[in-house]
Amino acid sequence: MKEKEQKILDNALPLFVEKGFHGTSTAEIAKTAGVATGTLFHYFKTKEELIDRLYIYTKESILEAAQGDYDESKPFKENVKSLWLKFVCLGLKEPYKFNFIMTFHCSPYITSFTKGRIEDKFVELLEVYKKGFAHNQIKEMYDELLMDYFWGNILNTIMHFEKNPERMNHQNIDLSFELFWDGISK
């Protein structure tokens, strides 16, 4: 990715989260990024194309940062918790990315092609859970339900601790994971 394109995406992210799609102008994005409006349109032909690309960028960066290292020598539950914690910690550290995904996941500005392309990248995440199916440790369910349940729990955990930072401690984070685990384990 080119430096200017990266600057545009990095500066558009908080603007879209704070002001929404209609409340954020391309001129404001360009100004905040320190580029000319024409430069913005060189990389992104429309605001819709920009937000679509930002969705890809945001989800890919989250996946890359949280990619698991499944350790066959550890119990399955411990591996799932490690992956879950990576996502929760990342969401608490980079709330704009997670807030953007929550806000725009069902947006008509994100194309079905983009959603499909991104969801395909999360197949590796599903592979971790398929080990649980194979060893009869988690409930059988279809992939989309499992992914929605996983993401829903992570996003709700992040939102809870953003709203209640005084309650964020190891005990409550462990409790949040146990609630998730109880929902999927046999």
Task: Write the pLDDT tens digit of every residue in 24-71.
Answer: 999 999 999 999 999 999 999 999 999 999 998 998 888 888 776 778
Residues 6+ apart with CB under 8 A from 88: 154, 157, 158, 173, 176
pLDDT of residue 43: 96
For each of the domains in the chain, give its residue range(s) and CATH number, in order of start: 1-45 (1.10.10.60), 46-184 (1.10.357.10)
Angle, helices 143-163 vs 170-184, to 10°: value is: 160
Task: Examine the pLDDT at 1 and tell me if it is beyond 80.
Answer: no
Task: Write the pLDDT tens digit of every residue in 127-151.
Answer: 777 888 888 899 988 888 888 888 8
Least confident of 62-66, 110-114, 172-176: 110-114
User: What are the Cα distances from residue 24, in Å, to 27, 58, 107, 156, 167?
Assistant: 8, 18, 15, 26, 33
